[in-house]
Amino acid sequence: MLDILLMVVSAILILLSLLQSGKSDGISGAFTGSGGLNLFQSVKERGSEKFISNLTMVVGITFFVLVIIIRVLG
């Protein structure tokens, strides 16, 4: 039962990660240096972006808790 729940949470986590918008120029910008790669740039998330970001964090924490529970019980 927990294994099935873990697979569902994993699929949701992957989908939420794909739904998030990119916050940088991508990997090509890192190699070419265009736009100045600033990893600590403060970008305010608003509305649906903030909701998806928070939901991704909650689902990620749920994923790790499930993995630990399955490992301890199994």
State whether the Cα torsion 34-19-57-42 is positive or negative. Answer: positive
Given a contact cutoff of 8 angstroms between Cβ atoms, the answer to whether 70 and 3 are in contact is yes
The dihedral over CA atoms of 74, 9, 17, 44, expressed in degrees to the nearest 10, equals -100
What is the tens place of the pLDDT at every residue in 10-61?
999 999 999 987 765 555 555 555 555 566 566 677 898 999 999 999 999 9
Number of helices and strands in the chain (H, E): 3, 0
What pLDDT does 42 receive?
66
Total-model pTM: 0.71
What pLDDT does 22 receive?
72
